[in-house]
Amino acid sequence: MTWTDEQRALQGSTREFVRREVVPHLQAWEDAGEVPRELHLAAAKAGLLGISFSEEVGGQGGDLLDSVAMQEAFFEAGGSSGLAAALFTGGIALPHIAAHGTPEQVDAFVRPTLAGEKIGSLAVTEPGGGSDVAGITTIATRDGDSYVVNGAKTFITSGVRADFVTTAVRTGGPGHGGISLLVVERGTPGFTVDRALSKMGWHCSDTAELSFVDVRVPATHLVGAENAGFAMIAEQFVVERIALAVHAYGIAARSLALTAAYCRERQTFGKPLVANQVVRHKLVEMHRQVEVARTYTREVARRHVAGDGVIAEACLAKQTAVEACAHVVDQAVQLHGGTGYMHGTEVERHYRDARILGIGGGATEVLTDLTARLLGYAP
């Protein structure tokens, strides 16, 4: 795919931002377990937060392909998957409000988040299960001008720092037809961050367990129509899955570049690693898998922007990229030898970060089953 001049310029400024504002600090944020709020302001100033959000809601315009172009450059320059999850959480917390919210909701939540002044999260997953979105049990009962919310959410990205949480709640009967989206603000009595969760990877991305005990939320914080939440969540799945595919081949491509450089430099038995045919062939296999994942994902993104229905293809892109990534980061650690097993070596971080990509945003098995139904392979 040939990027436009604007997309190439965006990639240039993204690389510059990552090299200047991110790379020197990333290990410190990994150790701290979160990224500073100032980074959101800096990213907004650099023009990275509002891409693919319309100017009417405070974004910079553009579409999913612009986001893909930006994210590829983000990973190429040394941004991590965990950092992207933490910095771009607005990408999953805001689209429903931007598309279906009231002007007041857009002013209160979308604009300040795209300006880097607020942080938002999306809370769907519950301790009782995340794959079955239609089965959520957090209840919101209408009482006068408010909803009263009771329940719990877990594994919520940026939930420790969030100023507001776009929360999936049950306002109606069982199943997907009874779900709504409510924005719950930090500081609302009864709403607490129970725990900051400790994880295998994505260390710089704070992940929270949230609890709701008789939380009174103004009815004006309902996003879109009551009981229309599932459709709004599902509407965003295609974009989220393509974004996670970009994470996967993005960190795989970066791991490949680091490994190729290491193999040219590292000597064993009196010659560089790349002098061994088996090593060169491993690099080519890593390259092949990255190329296939990148080319297919970009094509699915292009078709989505063109207006084609690509629900199944987005699932396939995610799986293709996740499997490529799993292979590449494993081989990257292998070819770095003992160095690859050390904390602080970049490929070690990508190896740990990669593991979530086949679980979050729809586990591979669940997406494969959805694809089977969409392609007519299910009974």
Ligand X SMILES: Cc1cc2nc3c(=O)[nH]c(=O)nc-3n(C[C@H](O)[C@H](O)[C@H](O)COP(=O)(O)OP(=O)(O)OC[C@H]3O[C@@H](n4cnc5c(N)ncnc54)[C@H](O)[C@@H]3O)c2cc1C
What residues make contact with ligand X under the rule CB under 6 A?
Answer: 121-125, 129-131, 155-157, 199, 202, 207, 356, 359-361, 363, 365-366, 369
53 vs 202, beta carbon nearer ligand X: 202
Closest distance to ligand X from the beta carbon of 156 (Å): 5
209 has catalytic annotation: no
Q: Count of CB atoms within 10 A of residue 196's CB?
A: 15
156 vs 293, beta carbon nearer ligand X: 156
Residue 270 main-chain phi, psi, to 5 deg = 80, 10
Residue 250 main-chain phi, psi, to 5 deg = -65, -50
146 vs 368, beta carbon nearer ligand X: 368
21 vs 34, beta carbon nearer ligand X: 34
46 vs 152, beta carbon nearer ligand X: 152
Closest distance to ligand X from the beta carbon of 378 (Å): 12
Strands 164-170 and 179-185: antiparallel
Closest distance to ligand X from the beta carbon of 363 (Å): 3
Cα 60 to Cα 50: distance, rounded to the nearest angstrom: 5
7 vs 113, beta carbon nearer ligand X: 113
Q: Is 121 in contact with 96 (CB distance < 8 Å)?
A: no
Closest distance to ligand X from the beta carbon of 200 (Å): 9
Catalogue the E-assigned strands of the chain: 120-123, 139-143, 146-157, 164-170, 179-185, 191-196, 207-218, 222-223, 267-268, 271-272
Which of 30, 240, 346, 348 is catalytic? The answer is 240
Return the HEC string of 208-256.
EEEEEEEEEEEHHHEECCCCCHHHHHHHHHHHHHHHHHHHHHHHHHHHH
Helix axes 311-336, 346-354, angle to 10 degrees: 140
Residue 274 is classified by DSSP as G
Token pair 């593991």: residue? 355
Closest distance to ligand X from the beta carbon of 165 (Å): 9
Please name which of 194, 226, 222 lies closest in space to residue 208, comparing C-alpha atoms: 194
| Cβ-proximal residue to ligand X, closest one | 130
Cα 325 to Cα 332: distance, rounded to the nearest angstrom: 10
Closest distance to ligand X from the beta carbon of 245 (Å): 15
Strands 271-272 and 267-268: antiparallel
Compute the CA torsion angle 50, 74, 121, 318 (nearest 10 deg): 110
158 vs 345, beta carbon nearer ligand X: 158
Closest distance to ligand X from the beta carbon of 51 (Å): 20
Q: Which residues are designated catalytic?
A: 240
